[in-house]
Amino acid sequence: MIGEEVLYRTVTELSADIKARRISPVELTEAYLDRIHQHAGRYNAFATVTPDVALEQAREAEREIGRGRYRGPLHGIPYGAKDLLATAGIKTTWGAAPTKDQMFDEDATVIRKLREAGAVLLGKLAMVEFAGCLGYREAGASLQGPGRNPWDRERWTGGSSSGTGASVSAGFVAFGIGTETWGSILCPSAFCGVTGLRPTYGRVSRAGGMVGSYTLDKIGPMARSAADCRLILRAIAGPDPSDLTSSDEPVQIDRRRPNYGRLRAALIPSDFAKTPGAEREVGSRFDDAVEDLRRLGLKIETAALPDLPASELTTAILYAEAISAFEPFFEDGSVRKLHDPYAPYQRDVTAALTGSDYIKASRMRTVLQERMAEFFGTYDVIVATNFLSVAPSIHEDFTKTLPYPDPVGAVGNGCGLPAIALPMGPGKDDMPTSFQIMGSPFDEGLLLDLGEAYQGATGHHLAHPPVGA
Amino acid sequence: MDPSPAIPRRRFVKLLAASAASLAMTSDPARAAAKTAERHRAAASAPPKSTALDKELRTEKKSVADMLKVVRSYKLPAGSPPAMAFRPMKARRGRTS
């Protein structure tokens, strides 16, 4: 009998037990499926549960491991994937009514790679409709219903990887795959108290994934620890001939135990006193996190990001690309089936944005990338807040509950930089809080090293919600 | 070919899945005209905007205009490089000369 505490173990722990045959992949999968069956519906966490696929994959893993053919640390580990990654023979809804019955013939590259690593697909995870790329302001903007936070069902999970955040947090999966165009991994990681890694643009193939924005979309792991994110990234990273934007930069993410005293971090401060919606409890936790990093030896000094309008240029690029990507739904009128009442008018709202504006914003982005390359000549990483408040109510308009800007996210997503979201302890009403460490391109290994060191020193990532209580 | 709008969308979805950036559309003039008429019908059947919605959309348009003002007024350095590289086609293989 597998108890709840096992389902909350990290991938690192589970894989050691599976390899040593102390835990059966089939029994582990059955235990997760039972938990999903009992509780997941209360959180709108899944788009589709795939028990038959999961049990078949788990039995195969058990057979292989029994024969001594151990594929690696994800072998026999149950996971869930955001429902914008194509899965052959399983619906891929993109979280949206116009595509609620959509089927694909082939798996997305990430799904294929995880299958080849021996991971077990428990199901497709709920998400904000069209990953929020046409805008949204309510938790209910999802085919699967509002993402309910396992720490408090009346609060939002964050989005757009809402089901991934909820499922990792609630122990429905051992890890999940999320995606980020702008904030969609870091936000639910923050609100649900999980560890999320947004890889460098091009690090992970996007073939078979829904396109929200051609030059902003990234795919990455959400899990219970930085160490787990490393294992998952290793399995899914690398070049892919099916994705012309995937990079052939070597995947160098092995643990290095760097001399932290030789690293310089830029602290991008947030003004918690003057920023509308910012909560002082989050500010206090962030101060604690910075001190914890200093205790590890990291040299941290206050710095400013390059003086370019990153939010405006990234927004212009996102609008232009999203309107193009979802053009068929505007053309046939099915965009009106979306839950968000404003999304159907988004093409009209952004009609003033011209082709030359898009080109200009893209050229500005090149300048921003050059400035960030110079910035990373001085600093190894950036330490910054993630969200300035804890998860808001599912009943309120996000323009009111989350009114603050995201300057670090604008630079990070605009330039395609990697970042890791790390839980940093409880905030208001004991809800999770989170900060981020952002790195230079393809320096995920350093972010993971720092994340592991921070988590080893604090243990905030081990907290989990009282699901089912 | 099936003239229903579902076919081009399915094609589009497949192209998205392959990370391609273009949408194959029919060039049949009659079908194109039918699609245009269908679009007009869809636009005509759009739900009427409430006052609150109308107000919010005006706010959003103002926000887009403000964003564009910033982008358009930003001075790029002379000789600023293009953001994207248009790649040449591959050479034809198997030529004898």
pLDDT(B13) > 70: no
HSE-up of residue A142 (Cα within 13 Å, Cβ side)? 30
Question: pLDDT band at B32, cuts 50/70/90?
Answer: low
What residues of chain B have any CB closer than 8 angstroms to a CB in chain A? 5, 8-9, 12-14, 16-19, 21, 23, 35, 38-39, 42-43, 45-47, 49, 53, 56-57, 60-61, 64-65, 67-68, 70-72, 74, 76-77, 80-84
Query: Are residues A212 and A131 in contact, defined by beta-carbon separation less than 8 angstroms?
Result: yes
Nearest to A153 by CA among A43, A18, A288: A43
Kindly indicate the confidence band of residue B45, based on its pLDDT and cuts at 50, 70 and 90: very low
**Looking at this predicted complex, what is its ipTM?**
0.93
Closest approach of A122 to chain B, Cα-based (Å)? 22
The number of C-alpha atoms within 13 Å of B89 and in the hemisphere containing its C-beta is 3
Which residues of chain A make contact with B57, given a CB cutoff of 8 A?
342, 345, 348-349
DSSP A292-349: HHHHTT-EEEE----SS-HHHHHHHHHHHHHHHHTHHHHHTSGGGGSSSSSGGGHHHH
Q: Which of A320, A319, A427, A309 is nearest to A368 (CA)?
A: A309
Q: How far apart are CA B3 and CA A202, in angstroms?
A: 37
Asked if the Cβ–Cβ distance from A342 to B76 is below 8 Å, we say: no
Query: For residue B83, how many other CB atoms are within 10 A of its CB?
Result: 18
* 8 A C-beta contact, residue A100 and residue A64: no
In-domain check, residue A344: no
pLDDT of B97 higher than 60: no
- Which residues of chain B lie closer than 8 angstroms to A359, CB-CB? 82-83
- Is residue A184 part of the annotated active site? The answer reads yes
Task: Classify strands A264-268 and A299-302 as parallel, antiparallel or unpaired.
Answer: parallel
- CB-nearest partner of B18 from A242, A350, A352: A242
Q: How far is CA A377 from CA A156, A199, A409, A445, B83, in A?
A: 38, 20, 20, 17, 22
Q: Which pTM does this prediction carry?
A: 0.91
How is chain B split into domains, by residue range? 6-66
Residue A288 resides in a domain: yes
Question: What chain A residue is nearest to B5 in terms of C-alpha separation?
Answer: A332
Chain A interface disruption, residue of B25, B26, B45, B64, most A CBs within 10 A: B64
A402 sits in the region (left: phi over 0; alpha: psi -120 to 50; else beta) called beta
Among this protein's residues, is A440 annotated catalytic?
no
Residue of chain B whose alpha carbon sits nearest to that of A345: B57
Q: From chain B, pick out residues whose CB is under 8 angstroms from the CB of A336.
A: 46-47
Please state, as a whole number, how many other Cβ atoms lie within 10 Å of the Cβ of residue A68. Answer: 6
Tell me, what's the pLDDT at A398? 94
Closest CA to A448 of A142, A211, A233, A166: A233
Residue A348 lies in a domain: no
- pLDDT grade for B82, boundaries at 50, 70 and 90: confident
Question: What b-and-e string marks burial along B54-67, b requiring 16 or more CB atoms within 10 Å of the CB?
Answer: eebbeebbeebeeb
pLDDT band with cut points at 50, 70 and 90 for residue B8: very low
User: What pLDDT, on a 0 to 100 scale, did the predictor assign at position A361?
Assistant: 97
Domain tally, chain A: 1
Segments of chain A with pLDDT less than 70: 469
What region, left, alpha or beta, does residue A46 occupy, with left being phi > 0 and alpha being psi -120 to 50 degrees?
beta
Q: What is the DSSP string of A61-96?
A: HHHHHHTT----TTTT-EEEEETTB-BBTB---TTS
Domain extent, residue A451, equals 4-308+360-462
CATH of the domain at A182: 3.90.1300.10
Angle between helices A355-378 and B51-73 (to 10 degrees): 60
Q: Return the residue of A nearest to B80 by Cα.
A: A363
CA–CA gap between residue B34 and residue A330 (Å, rounded):
16
A82 is catalytic: yes
Cα dihedral sign, A131-A136-A138-A140: negative
Inter-chain contact A336–B47, Cβ cutoff 8 Å? Answer: yes
Q: Between A287 and B32, whose confidence is greater?
A: A287
Q: Is residue A389 part of a domain?
A: yes
Residue B16 above 50 pLDDT?
no
